[in-house]
Amino acid sequence: MLCLGIESTAHTFGCSIIESSGSDSMLRGRIVSDSRDVYKPPQGSGIHPRDASRHHCQISDKVFRNSLTAAKLSIKDIDVISYSAGPGLGPCLRVGAVIARTLAAFHDKPLVPVNHAVGHVELGAMLTGAGDPLVLLVSGGHTMILAFSEHRWRIFGETLDITIGQLLDQFGRHIGFSSPCGDRIEQLASQSSGDYQSLPYVVKGNDVSFSGLLTAAIRAVSDQGNELACGDVSYSLQETAFSMITEAVERALSFTSKRQFLVVGGVAANKRLAGMLKTACKRQSSKFYLCPAEFAGDNGAQIAWVGMLQYMATRKNIEIEEALVYQSWRIDEVEVAWNR
Ligand code: AMP
Ligand code: MG
């Protein structure tokens, strides 16, 4: 079976093809091709949904064709088409949904809407082999601690305001980078003198809050106003935010007694965060799994894999009129149909 997945929730437009093998109850996946293009807003600005959707429209044909060419396949070879139906930015989501509907209707293929957060989690589990992990999803759109129970991914803890990706990107924009810029902050922090400046640390139960931390970090660089300050504040920002997340994760590991822990989402690429989480796992005797950096951020393979799992489990083809998008679609609203 071959499933084409189309991702377009925010900055990334991606198309990927996954091939499945094995039985329905023990499905295995292989990424045959993965093509994507990331919208870059002007320096100092965040993602403008209309501009990002325009980017997706302009490059969609190229990305789609690249995914087929790299896989040496034609659209006729594809068995199932899936698209990210939410959560995300409305104008961006609609580009992927329209393309998926058109391909499915014209070529008479089954169509599967996919929850983007489930995509992050399930692709991470597939690529690492984690079977029953506690999951940390850290990205531009999410900061959540998740555990699977009774047919759903349940939220054990989450951010009460902005996500960790928004924290890093908004701070980065303030010091002159273009979004997304978590990797630039990581670089700055690693080159700093390591002079920790105290910043607000807010953990409430299993939840975290980053908005006060962002305000204080912006104020700290504005007050000091030199390049050295940018490095030290980036370092302090990372240390504070990542310690908050690690505290919440360690408590969740202790509470749930999960023996596996998986990190997914674009911020999973950060080596300092991974290091802190790995140490917490050691303390809790849990095995640490990290989604490969190449597939940690948004991509079509996440959508193709969940589209495949969903279709193989239900053989359900939704009508074109039902193929909608949902800007706020929480992961715990999704009833998981496949074996897990
Ligand atoms: P996603 O929404 O999953 O595509 O993830 C995008 C987010 O990951 C953005 O907020 C990026 O700034 C962030 N990100 C990417 N690489 C890194 C990194 N090395 N360190 C921290 N954040 C990162
Ligand atoms: Mg994402």
Mean pLDDT of 75-80: 98
Task: Using the mean position of ligand 2's atoms as its centre, give its distance from the Cα of residue 139 in Å.
Answer: 6
Q: What is the per-residue pLDDT across 255-310, written as a single tens digit (0 to 9) for each? A: 999 999 999 999 999 999 999 999 999 999 999 999 999 999 999 999 999 999 99
Mean pLDDT of 207-226: 93
Classify 2-121+297-333 by CATH class.
Answer: alpha beta
Q: Are strands 80-86 and 28-38 parallel, antiparallel or unpaired?
A: unpaired
Among 296, 320, 295, 265, which residue's Cα sits nearest to residue 113?
320
Residue 25: band (very low, low, confident or very high) from pLDDT cuts 50, 70, 90: confident
In this model, does residue 340 exceed pLDDT 90?
no
Burial, 28: exposed, middle or buried (Cβ in 10 Å; 0-12, 13-18, 19+)?
A: exposed
Place of tokens 């429209």: 57
158 C-beta closer than 6 A to ligand 1: no
Which residue minimizes the CA distance to atom 12 of ligand 1?
Answer: 182
Q: Could you tell me the pTM of the whole model?
A: 0.96
5 C-beta closer than 6 A to ligand 1: no
Residue 104: band (very low, low, confident or very high) from pLDDT cuts 50, 70, 90: very high
| Mean pLDDT, rounded, of the chain | 96
* Residue to mutate, 40, 137, 267, 331, ligand 1, most ligand atoms under 8 Å from C-beta: 267
169 C-beta closer than 6 A to ligand 1: yes
Task: Using the mean position of ligand 1's atoms as its centre, give its distance from the Cα of residue 249 in Å.
Answer: 19
Greater model confidence, 340 or 260: 260
- Residue 323 DSSP label: -
Q: How far apart, in Å, are the Cα atoms of 321 and each of 2, 98, 109, 114?
A: 24, 11, 15, 16
Task: Using the mean position of ligand 2's atoms as its centre, give its distance from the Cα of residue 39 in Å.
Answer: 14
Q: Which helix (H) or strand (E) holds 12?
A: strand 12-21
Residue 44: band (very low, low, confident or very high) from pLDDT cuts 50, 70, 90: confident
Ligand showing the shortest atom-to-Cα distance for residue 164: 1
133 C-beta closer than 6 A to ligand 1: no
* Residue to mutate, 179, 183, 298, ligand 1, most ligand atoms under 8 Å from C-beta: 183
Q: Are strands 111-115 and 80-86 parallel, antiparallel or unpaired?
A: parallel
Ligand 1 atom closest to Cα of 164? 10
Instruction: Indicate the domain borders of the chain.
Output: 2-121+297-333, 131-295
Helices (H), the chain: 49-71, 90-107, 116-128, 164-174, 182-191, 211-224, 227-256, 271-283, 300-314
Given a contact cutoff of 8 angstroms between Cβ atoms, the answer to whether 103 and 62 are in contact is no
Kindly give, in sequence order, each residue whose CB lies less than 8 Å from that of residue 142, ignoring residues fewer than 6 positions away: 117, 120, 158, 163, 165, 265
Ligand 1 atom closest to Cα of 141? 2
Kindly give, in sequence order, each residue whose CB lies less than 8 Å from that of residue 283, ignoring residues fewer than 6 positions away: 250
Residue 178: band (very low, low, confident or very high) from pLDDT cuts 50, 70, 90: confident
Q: Which of 38-42, 298-302, 325-329 has the least mean pLDDT?
A: 38-42
Ligand showing the shortest atom-to-Cα distance for residue 168: 1
> What pLDDT, on a 0 to 100 scale, did the predictor assign at position 293?
94
Mean pLDDT of 155-162: 98
Task: Using the mean position of ligand 1's atoms as its centre, give its distance from the Cα of residue 22 in Å.
Answer: 33
Q: Are strands 2-7 and 80-86 parallel, antiparallel or unpaired?
A: parallel
In this model, does residue 227 exceed pLDDT 90?
no
| DSSP one-letter string for 88-135 | S-HHHHHHHHHHHHHHHHHHT--EEEEEHHHHHHHHHHHHHT-SS-EE
Count other C-beta atoms under 10 Å from residue 54's C-beta: 15
Burial, 218: exposed, middle or buried (Cβ in 10 Å; 0-12, 13-18, 19+)?
A: middle
Ligand 1 atom closest to Cα of 271? 19
Q: Are strands 12-21 and 134-138 parallel, antiparallel or unpaired?
A: unpaired
Q: Which of 99-103, 144-148, 241-245, 320-324 has the least mean pLDDT?
A: 320-324
> What pLDDT, on a 0 to 100 scale, did the predictor assign at position 317?
84
267 C-beta closer than 6 A to ligand 1: yes
7 C-beta closer than 6 A to ligand 1: no
The backbone torsions φ and ψ at residue 32, rounded to the nearest 5 degrees and listed phi first, read: -85, -40
In this model, does residue 225 exceed pLDDT 80?
no
Written as six digits, the tokens of 225 are: 């106003």
Burial, 278: exposed, middle or buried (Cβ in 10 Å; 0-12, 13-18, 19+)?
A: middle
In this model, does residue 196 exceed pLDDT 90?
yes
Same fold yes or no, 2-121+297-333 and 131-295: yes
40 C-beta closer than 6 A to ligand 1: no
> What pLDDT, on a 0 to 100 scale, did the predictor assign at position 294?
96
131-295, CATH topology level: Nucleotidyltransferase; domain 5 (3.30.420)
Mean pLDDT of 78-94: 98
Residue 226: band (very low, low, confident or very high) from pLDDT cuts 50, 70, 90: confident
> What pLDDT, on a 0 to 100 scale, did the predictor assign at position 224?
81
Ligand 1 atom closest to Cα of 165? 10
